[in-house]
Amino acid sequence: MITRYSRKTIVIGIIAALLGMVSFAYAQQAGDVLFKAMQDELDRSMSQLVMENLERPYFVSYTIDDAQQLEVHANLGTLTQSNLDRGRYLSIDLRVGSYSLDNGNFVSGYSGFGADYAQLPTDNNYDAIRNQIYLQTDQVYKDALETISKKRAYLQTRVIANRPDDFLKLPTNRIIDKPEGFDLNKAKFEELAKAATDVFRDYPDIISSDLKIQGAIANQYLLNSNGTRALRGDRLYVFDLSMMGKAADGEDIFDGDRIIYNSLAAIPSISDLTAWAKGNADRMSKLIKADTLEEYIGPVVFTADAAGEFFRQLFVRSISNLPQPTYENEQMAAMIGRVGGGGGEFAEKLNRRVLPASFTVYDDPTISKVGNSSVIGGYNVDDAGNTPQKVVLVENGKLVNLLIGISPTKKIKDANGHARGAVSKLITAKPSNLVFESSEKVPYAKLKETLITLCKDVELPYGLIVKRLSDPNASSGSFAIRMGSMMMRGSGGSGAPEALSSPWEIYRVYPDGREEPVRGLQFNNVTVRILKDILQTDDQMFVYNYLLNADPEMPASIVTPSVLIEEMELKKNEEKIMKPPLLPSPLAGK
C-alpha cells in the first residue's frame, strides 16, 4: 500500500512540474510575440502616424494585460455562478502636445474619466495581435487630437494660475519579471466555496449570504516610446463573504468579511475556510439579536478591520488620484465625486498638519511584509513602468510628500513609483502598502481603559468599540446586500454622503470592561478633520488588505494600530424598514 501511495505522489508531482514548465514556456512565447507586436507598431506610430497637418504623438505607451480570471459564487453549499475566463486587454496612453500641455487630465463631457481598452486575440498570432494594436492606436490618436483641441479652447477662456505640467518625463526602465502561469483551478475553488457556505444551512436567521471567490492571474506587458519595457506577473485570490439578516424589529443587518492572498500556497484549506465562514456566521447571528441604540456622542475606538477601513475612507481617498483632472463641465466633477471617484482632498494640504503630531505615515510598494505579517500592495514595477519607491507622506503629523503617478502636482514634480491603474481604469497616483505608525502607543487593554475613563468623565454609561465598517465599494453579495452597503454610506437625507460608512460590527463597553454588540447606528458629521482628533493608539500593527476601486488588479494594504477618537457623533439609521419575511426559513428546524 505504501509503495502504491508514494508512486502516485511521484507521478502527480511530475505532472505538476511538467504543467508548470508548459505554462511557463507558454508565457515566455506570449511575451516574445506581444513585445514584438507592440514594439513594431509603436515604432510605426511614432514615425508615421499623423493626420493631415496636425500634431504627431509625442509619447505612446502600450500595456497588455494577459489575464486569467475566475469568479465563483456559492451559497448554502451550492454554486450559483462559476466562470473561468481568459482575456488579453490592450490599454494605450497616447499623448499629443507637450509635457506641459497635452490631451491628458481633461474630462470632456462623459469621456476622459475612464480608460478605453481593446480586447486582443488570446492566440499568440503576431499579425492578428498587431492589427488590433494598429486599429486601437488609430482610434486613440484621433480621440487625442479631438481632446487637445477642446482642452486648449477651455484653457484659453479660463484663468488657471500655476497649472502644473500634464505629464512627467518618465525614466527609461527595463524591469522584466517572471510571468505567472495560468493555473487557476476552477474545480478546487468550487469545492472550497461549496464547503465554506454549507455552514449557513445552520443559520436560518441569515436570510441571504454569498461567498464570492475571485482568482486573478495577470501578466502585464508594458512598452513605451521612452524605451521602457516591463513585465510584471501578478496573482491574487479574494474570498469575499457577505451576509444579510433581519432583526426582530425589521432592521436590515449587513455584515461581511474579506480575505485576500497573493500566493497559491497561502490559500486556506477547506477546514480553515469553513471555520472562517462559521466564525462570521456566529458573529452575524449575535449582531441580528443585538440591542439598538438611538444615538451616541462620545469616545470611539476603531480596531482591527474597522481601523483599516477608517484610514482607507478618510486618508487613502485624500491622497489618491492627484492631481485631479480639469473638468470641462463642473456638474460632471461633482457627480464623479459622488460616485466614489475624485479624491485628492489633501492636494492643498502639503506642509500642513493632517494627523496628530505622534503620527508617521509612509507608503512602501517594495515590501512584502511588515513585522511577521504579509502585505499585498507591493510591486516590482508600477503601471507606468516606474521603479517603486518608499514615500514618507506624514512626519510628526504633517503632510510632507504626495504620491505621484504620471502627472506632477503643483509642488511635487518627480515620479515616485505610485502610478496604478487597471484595464478600463485610468492610471493615477494610488497607495500600495500604507503604514501608520504612532509614537504614543499603549497596549490595547490600556486603550480600552482610556475609553472607559473618558466615558466616566462625561458621565456616559458606556463607550463604543467599532470592529468592522461596511465597505462602500462592495462589489459582492446579492443585489440587496450591495444596495445595503451603498445605502449604509449613510447620506442622512441631506444628499452628500458621510465621509465614513456605517459600522457593521459595533460593541458597547461598560465600566467593568464587558462588551455587548449593538446595532442601528450610523456616523454623523464626519470629515477628514476627524483624523486630527485621534487621541491614542495601541501598540499592535494590524494588516488590512483591500482592493483599490474593488479591482483585483489593484491590491493594497493598510497597516495600522487601533485608534481612539475623543468624540464622535452617531445617530440612528434612517433606512425605511421592511418587515421580516412572513414565514420562517424552510431551513429552520431541520
Partner 1 sequence: MRELSAIFKDYPFVERSSVSMSITNDNRYFVSSEGSSIQQGQAYIRMGVSCSGTCTDGMQIQRYEGFDAATIDGLPADSVVVKTIHRLVGELAVLLKAPLAEPYTGPAILLNRATGVYFHEIFGHRIEGHRQKSETEGQTFAKKVNQKILPDFISVIDDPTLSEFKGEFLRGHYLYDDQGVKTEKVTVVDNGVLRNFLMSRSPVRGFPVSNAHGRKQAGLSVVSRQGNLMIRSSKELPFDSLLALLKEECRKQGKPYGLIFNDISGGFTSTGRYGPQAFKVIPLLVYKYYTDGRPMEAIRGVDIVGTPLASFEQIIATGNDYDVFNGTCGAESGSVPVSAIAPSILVASLEVEKKFKEQQKPPILPPPYKPIKTSGIY
In this structure, the number of other CB atoms found within 10 A of the CB of residue 310 comes to 27
Rule CB under 8 A: choose which of 33, 46, 49, 101 binds partner 1.
49
First CA to last CA distance, the chain: 41
Give Cβ neighbours of residue 448 (< 8 Å, ≥ 6 apart). 301, 465, 509, 513
| Residue 448 contacts partner 1 per CB under 8 A | no
**Which residue, 476, 23, 528, 573, is CA-closest to 243?**
476
In this structure, the number of other CB atoms found within 10 A of the CB of residue 296 comes to 21
The SS3 call for residue 456 is helix
Pairing mode of beta strands 542-547, 555-560: antiparallel
In this structure, the number of other CB atoms found within 10 A of the CB of residue 234 comes to 19
**Which residue, 320, 347, 308, is CA-closest to 430?**
320
Stretch of residues binding partner 1 (CB under 8 A), selected from 37-45, 202-210, 435-443, 527-535: 37-45
**How far is it, in rounded angstroms, from Cα 352 to Cα 318?**
14
Binding to partner 1 (CB under 8 A): which residues in 307-326?
A: none
**Closest distance of CB 19 from partner 1, Å:** 24
Rule CB under 8 A: choose which of 40, 165, 191, 328 binds partner 1.
40
Binding to partner 1 (CB under 8 A): which residues in 85-124?
A: 123
Is the CB of 15 or the CB of 54 nearer to partner 1?
54
- 223 grid coordinates: 512598452
Pairing mode of beta strands 326-327, 291-292: unpaired
| Residue 55 contacts partner 1 per CB under 8 A | no
**Closest distance of CB 55 from partner 1, Å:** 13
| Residue 507 contacts partner 1 per CB under 8 A | no
Asked whether the CA dihedral 279, 280, 286, 290 is positive or negative, the reply is: positive
* Helix boundaries (H) for 55-210: 126-156, 186-198
Please answer whether residues 105 and 93 qualify as being in contact, where contact means their C-beta atoms are separated by less than 8 angstroms: no
**Closest distance of CB 79 from partner 1, Å:** 16
* Largest Cα span, the chain: 85
| Residue 135 contacts partner 1 per CB under 8 A | yes
Stretch of residues binding partner 1 (CB under 8 A), selected from 102-110, 135-143, 241-249, 357-365: 135-143
**Closest distance of CB 34 from partner 1, Å:** 14
- 446 grid coordinates: 490600556
Stretch of residues binding partner 1 (CB under 8 A), selected from 126-134, 388-396, 531-539, 543-551: 126-134
| Residue 130 contacts partner 1 per CB under 8 A | yes
Is the CB of 48 or the CB of 156 nearer to partner 1?
48
| Residue 131 contacts partner 1 per CB under 8 A | yes
**Closest distance of CB 176 from partner 1, Å:** 25
Query: Which amino acid does the sequence have at 327?
Result: Y
Total residues binding partner 1 (CB under 8 A): 16
| Residue 43 contacts partner 1 per CB under 8 A | no
Is the CB of 141 or the CB of 546 nearer to partner 1?
141
Binding to partner 1 (CB under 8 A): which residues in 137-166?
A: 138, 141-142
| Residue 79 contacts partner 1 per CB under 8 A | no
What residue ranges bind partner 1 (CB under 8 A)? 40-41, 44, 48-51, 123, 127, 130-131, 134-135, 138, 141-142
